[in-house]
Amino acid sequence: MNAAARHSMSETVLEASGVTMVFGGLTALNDVSMTLGEGRIVGLIGPNGAGKTTFFNCLTGLYTPTRGSVRLRGNQLPSDPAKVTVAGIARTFQNVRLFPNMSVLENVLVGRHIQMKQGPLASLFHGPGFHRVERAARKRARELLEFVGLTGDENTAARNLPYGDQRRLEIARALATEPAVLLLDEPTAGMNPQETEAARQLIFRIRDTGVSVVVIEHDTKFIFSLCDSVSVLVQGEVLVEGSPDTVRDDPRVIEAYLGKPREEVEAEVAEARTTVIPRYRDDQPGDQTEVIERYREDQP
């Protein structure tokens, strides 16, 4: 409810409420909620293993949440990645996962799959309608390649692209499904500052076309300069949620994600230096319990 109220200025597109994901005895996500407004960019940050990608997988139907629900424009999402994509959510992957031996253009055309309706017979006989649809798909695919800034040879195998271009191609392929919501899993991992800046501009341009975006990132500078709102996920729970400014200054976030403030760390280090750490000496086995007890007393 709170989250919804905060985003009341724009219509809610994607709403995850109380998503809990349990693997055997491990609770990967605990009661995670998130709201994405129309034409917004929401960031998801958190230390490694916080459950960011698990949350993404719950949004895209790869996992079915143990509890809680994910709604797109008020409709419960099916638990099947193919159907989720049809419903209007597209994603990229943390480690780029293109179709390596297909050409650049073909990769985007695969993204057009759900937008094309040719059945087996039309594909077999290549009637006049077939060519019209095919031409339209190619035209749109080329537009998208240009949109993400891939101007090189469209017939190169995707595996031969430089790394940054592979990331862009993945985004073009996701956009080809004409999604309402785009989920980007660490879009700037492994990029240099120039490429990161280009990615930021690209995400803004995607937002401007009316697609709402959720971004997972490690690069906090990147996320704070990009997002309308940021959620911090720690150990499977939302620690803080709010505008980049509130999140940035929240001491809990600084501690959980960025580490403790500098003065505190320095004090700790100084204290550690003065503390005598007792050593276990194996030539005096009798001393063992005494040493341990002394050590415990030394601890605050």
Partner 1 sequence: MSRFTALVPRALGRPLSAIGGVLLLIAAMLPWATFLLNEGAYPDKATLQFFDAPFELTGFRWHMLLFGIAGVVITFVPLLGKGRALRALGWGGLAISVVSAIFITSEGGGLGAITAADGAYAFGAVAGILGGLALIFGAGAVGIDDIPHWPDAPFGWTGWAERLFSWAVLLVSFVAMLWLVSETLTAGGSAGVSSPYAGAVFLAFLGMAGGLLGALHGVGFTGWISRMSERHRAFSVVVLLVCAAALPFTSAGTQYWMNVAGTIGIYAATAIGLNIVVGLAGLLDLGYVAFMGIGAFVAANLSGATAAKLGITLPFPVAAVIAAVVVGVFGVIVGSPTLRVRGDYLAIVTLAFGEIFTRSAQNNIGDLTGGANAIPSIPAIAVGGLEFNEPITLFGTELPAGVMYYFLITLLVALVMAVFANLKNSRIGRAWIAIREDEDVARAMGIKTGKMKILAFLTGATLAGLAGAVFAHKLGTSSYDAFTFLQSVTLLAAVILGGMGSIPGAVMGAALLFVLPEKLREFEEYRLLLFGLALILIMRFRPQGLVPDRLRRAEFAGETAEGKSIEAVQEQAVIEQEHELEASKGGKA
Least separation, in Å, of the C-beta of 73 and partner 1? Answer: 17
Strands (E), 181-236: 181-185, 212-216, 229-234
Least separation, in Å, of the C-beta of 147 and partner 1? Answer: 18
Residue 212: name the closest of 10, 71, 9 by CA. 10
- Helix, strand, or coil here: 143? helix
Residues 19 and 34: their CA atoms lie apart, in Å, by: 9
- Residue closer to partner 1 by CB (options 35, 188) is 188
Residue 167: name the closest of 215, 228, 220 by CA. 215
Least separation, in Å, of the C-beta of 12 and partner 1? Answer: 23
The contact set with partner 1 (CB under 8 A) reads 60, 62, 80-82, 85-86, 90-91, 93, 97-103, 106, 109-114, 116, 118, 120, 122-126, 130, 134, 137, 153, 155-157, 159-160, 162, 173, 177, 192-194
- Residue closer to partner 1 by CB (options 136, 267) is 136
Least separation, in Å, of the C-beta of 109 and partner 1? Answer: 6
Least separation, in Å, of the C-beta of 181 and partner 1? Answer: 13
DSSP H helical ranges for 118-192: 120-125, 128-148, 163-175
Least separation, in Å, of the C-beta of 115 and partner 1? Answer: 9
Residues 22 and 294: their CA atoms lie apart, in Å, by: 41
Residues 36 and 5: their CA atoms lie apart, in Å, by: 12
Sign of torsion over alpha carbons 181, 182, 184, 188: negative
